[in-house]
Structure 1
Amino acid sequence: MHTVIVYESMYGNTREIAEAVAEGVHQADPTASVQCLPLTEAGHGTTRTADLLVVGGPTHMHGMSSGISRRMAAAAESHKPGADAAAAEARETAEGPGLRHWLHDLPRTGSGTHAAAFDTRVDMPRAGGAAEGIARRLSHHHYDLVVAPEGFIVDGNDGPLRAGERERARAWGASLV
């Protein structure tokens, strides 16, 4: 099985979840070919070869990130002392096309190509989530969703991940196989 995991990450939390999902897929099927790619490196040619496409992103303003929300996050990150690596990741993500655009341009697939969607989000009333929008767009492109969209919790607006979320993501990844 060939699994491609594509993620957008501003603060590193979504990247961590994507990597844990990849570990879970590989643990469940050690013979699986697993690619875990940031959105900026995930050409649509890569997704065409996937038996399972997993897409994830952060929740910004109750849903998927937008150009303005990515720029706002990058600006906020650049003002934090000692956050050089996170600021660089946020800047690189903010300058790219973003998950909405990437999903819009995703080629339609034939029946039988599986997909799953996840997000990172804060745990508060009416915080929303990006995973539902990601799943809707994957379905629109004729991907067959294998599970309901999943949200993984960060503490505070920019993390870190809540204790146990990496392990939960690893188990979720294994369940996708």
Structure 2
Amino acid sequence: MKALIIHESLFGNTKGVAEAIKRGLTRDKPDAASLVRSDEAPGVIPEEVSLLIVGGPTHAFSMTRESTRQDARTKGAKEHVRLGIREWVEAVVPRPELPVLTFDTRVKVRLMPGSAAKSAAKALRARGFRRAEQGETFWVADTDGPLNEGELERAEAWGEELGARADLRPGAPAGR
């Protein structure tokens, strides 16, 4: 079993979380996961992938769109993403039985009604990934970060937990 982590990051915070999740997943299994940017992600998920993890920053209560990415660039975003997770989800060929978990980064605002993780899980289900579920939110101090203290450790622990739930050794049977 192998995990594929697809991430979108503008200020580097979501990328840091994705890397921490991968560290947790691969602690004892170096080849158990791979990490790719959303604008470099495959349009067809390889057959050896048995767990998909998709994450991005929350912008305007949801996944980014071109206008919110442009706004982020005016605020100093380091990364220039051509295709965010929203556009990737719209283009990917679905694998209905593939387990999918989503994550996001966002500022902690009281009563914030939406998140990229929630929107991505919903969009993935609508696209045909029947086993897509909302995963974790990782908190940032402000739009450009940094991540709140302990969030990278929490992301790594989540990755380790996901790896323990499923045998992520190459060739191992799928299961959660």
Q: TM-score range by the shorter chain?
A: 0.7 to 0.9
Match of 2:104 in 1: 119
Note closer, same or farther for the CA distance 1:18–1:143 as it changes in structure 2 (3 Å cut).
farther
Query: Could you say which residue in structure 1 is the equivalent of 2:121?
Result: 135
Preserved contact between residue 96 and residue 131 of structure 2 (Cα < 8 Å)? no
- Summarize the alignment of residues 1-177 of structure 1 with structure 2, pairs less than 5 Å apart: 1-27=1-27, 30=29, 32-77=31-76, 87=78, 89=79, 92-93=80-81, 96-111=82-97, 113-127=98-112, 128-140=114-126, 141-145=128-132, 148-177=134-163
Report if the CA contact (8 A) 2:7-2:14 is conserved: yes
**Which portions of structure 1, spanning 4 or more consecutive aligned residues, are displaced by more than 3 angstroms?**
45-49
Which blocks of at least 5 consecutive residues in structure 2 are unaligned?
164-176
- Given the two structures, how large is their TM-score scaled by the length of structure 1? 0.84
The amino acid that maps onto 2:65 is S
Q: CA deviation at 1:98?
A: 1.9
Normalising by structure 2, report the TM-score. Answer: 0.84
| Alpha-carbon RMSD | 1.7
Count of matched residue positions in the alignment of Structure 1 and Structure 2:
161
Which amino acid in 1 is paired with 2:100?
A
* SS at structure 2 position matched to 1:11: coil
Which residue pairs with 1:80 in the alignment?
none
SS in 1 for 2:49: coil
> Contact between 2:20 and 2:152, CA under 8 Å: does it hold in 1?
yes
CA distance in 2 between partners of 1:73 and 1:66 (Å): 11
CA spacing shift, 1:5–1:26, aligned 2, 3 Å = same
Q: Which structure has more helix as a fraction of its residues?
A: 1
Report sequence identity in percent: 35
CA distance in 2, matches of 1:135, 1:45: 18
CA distance in 1, matches of 2:149, 2:46: 31
Structure 1 residue runs of 5 or longer lacking an equivalent are 78-85
